[in-house]
Amino acid sequence: MLITLPDVLNAQELAHCRQLLQQAEWEDGARTAGYIAQQSKQNLQLGLESPLAQQLGEVILGALAQNQAFIAAALPAKILPPRFNRYENSGHYGNHIDNAIFVAPGTKQRIRSDVSCTLFFSEPDEYEGGELSIEDTYGVQRVKLPAGHMVVYPGNSLHHVTPVTRGVRIASFFWVQSMVRHAHQRSILWELDQSIQELAMQTDDASKLARLSGVYHNLVREWAEV
């Protein structure tokens, strides 16, 4: 299930983050890649202990805590601190699947990567190439979103970033350990949640809404790990 979330950051937050990222000190992204991924990863990243990355990450996490669509899509239990990358000069990242387990920097906390997230900071017309290509049930989905928009998709998806042939592509990426481990179960819950939201705008029949909401919460109770 691939879900795009518009305007995760408001205009003020986005402008602030973009300004700071233009002044960032970047390092070789291959440092954080595994042995196999190093062969196909050509980009720049902020260091895992970078104070700027931590500052910007707090802005993102604060916004996500208020974003009901993100919460419904990911059902987050733990979120790995956001990371930041930069692609330019034909930078790319070949086909790969993300690590199953990450350790939060500076801690011993392990986080399972059930859900992958990419938040775009560059506008689509500021660079050429740089599509996030994700293989899912319906084939390859190519994602290139406006700045401030985010895509979430299953962490076990094969995906790659195409070469950036003009301009600069800057984004944040991170992973979520969901309360509901399996992607097909999260997909069912997402569709049910969206249907309930739509029905709530079309009817004032509280009993129908209560029954559907009860089904939703009983499924969460059945599937969730907390």
Binding site feature residues for 2-oxoglutarate: 169
- Give the phi and the psi of residue 206 in degrees, each rounded to 5: -65, -30
Place of tokens 């602030």: 16
Cα pseudo-dihedral 39, 29, 152, 64, rounded to 10: 170
Q: Which residues contact 175 (CB under 8 A, 6 or more apart)?
A: 79, 80, 98, 102, 111, 113, 114, 115, 116, 117, 155
Binding site feature residues for Fe cation: 96, 98, 159
Binding site feature residues: 96, 98, 159, 169
Specify whether the CB–CB gap between 44 and 29 falls below 8 A. Answer: yes
Burial of 122 (0-12, 13-18, 19+ CB in 10 A): buried
**Is residue 167 left, alpha or beta, with left meaning phi > 0 and alpha meaning psi from -120 to 50?**
left
Cα pseudo-dihedral 42, 91, 123, 27, rounded to 10: 40
DSSP state of 124: G
